[in-house]
Amino acid sequence: MSAPKPAALVLDGVRVDLSGVRIVSGIDIAVGPGERVGLIGPNGSGKSTLLRAVYRHLRPHSGGVRYGGADLWRLPPRQAARAIAALPQENHADLELTGYEMAAMGRTPHKGPFAADTDEDRAAIGEALRRTGTEHLAGRAFAGLSGGEKQRVLLARALAQRTPLLVLDEPTNHLDVRHQFELLDLVSASGRTVLAALHDLNLAAAYCHRLYVLDGGRVTAAGTPEEVLTERLVAEVFGVHAQVVANPRTGRPHLILNPAEPSGGGAAPG
C-alpha cells in the first residue's frame, strides 16, 4: 500500500529556454534514493523552471532527467505519473473541485478512464488527507480554501499518488510555522526521494541532506547544509549577512540573518 522503493533522480546537463531566453543551463544534480535535496537561490534564479523540467511541465532543450535509470521524458505519461508527484507553485483556484476530489486526482495514474475508486484508492486518499490534517476540508470547495489549506490539500494529492519521487516547489508557501514543520516532517518520514525548492534557508538546513545553490540559471555551489550555508556564500548569493550557529536542539546549522549593511545602528524596535 505504500509507495514503491525510491530510486535515484539524476539531472544531466539540463538546459531550459523560455521565449528564446536561456533560463537554466548545464544543470547537473543527483539525488540519491530516499535522499532529500534542497534547491536554494534568489528570486528568478531558475528554481521553478528547473523543477518544471523535472515534473514534465517544461521539456528541456537539452540534457536529461532520469529516475531509476529511465528517461522521465520518454516514459508514457501514466508511467511517469506513477513515479513522480509534484507540489507545484501554480494555484488551481479555477477548478471546481472539493478538497476530497482534489486529493483524489492523485489516484488518476493508477486508474483506467472513468473507473470507479477502488478500496486501495479510497485508502490512499483517506490516509493522505489524515496525514496532512485536511480531513475536515474534504467537503469544502477547494477554490474557497485559504492559501495554507490549499497547500496541504495539494500535498495530500501528491501523497495519494503514492510515488517514490516527490518534487516540491516552495512547499511551505502560505503555511504557518507549525504546518511548515509538520509538512516537512511528513515528507521526511515518507522516505521518498525528494527534490524541493526552498526559500527558507533554515528549513532547508534542517530538513535537507544536501543543497544545490542556483544563481543566474546555473549551479554555483553544492554540498551538505554545513558546507553550503556559509557566511560568505549567503552574502555573495543573497546579499545579506548571516551568522551561522548550531541549532542548540538539533545541531543543524541555523542562520541569524540581517541586512548586509544595517542602517540606523540595528536598534531593536520599540
Q: Which residues bind ligand ATP (CB under 6 A)?
A: 18-19, 21, 23, 41, 43-49
Q: How far is the CB of 44 from ligand ATP (least distance, A)?
A: 4
DSSP calls for 23-80: EEEEEEEEE-TT-EEEEE--TTSSHHHHHHHHTTSS--SEEEEEETTEEGGGS-HHHH
Q: For 249, which DSSP code?
A: T
Is the CB of 25 or the CB of 49 nearer to ligand ATP? 49
Between residues 19 and 263, which has the closer beta carbon with respect to ligand ATP?
Answer: 19
Tell me the closest approach of the beta carbon of residue 168 to ligand ATP, in angstroms.
12
For the CB of residue 149, give the shortest distance to ligand ATP in the complex, in Å.
21
Give the C-alpha separation, 101 to 8, whole Å: 31
Nearer to ligand ATP, 46 or 109 (CB): 46
The helix (run of H) or strand (run of E) holding residue 102 is helix 99-104
Smallest gap from residue 257 Cβ to ligand ATP (A): 16
Q: How far apart are CA 254 and CA 213, in angstroms?
A: 17
Tell me if residue 221 falls in helix, strand or coil. Answer: strand
Nearer to ligand ATP, 59 or 122 (CB): 59
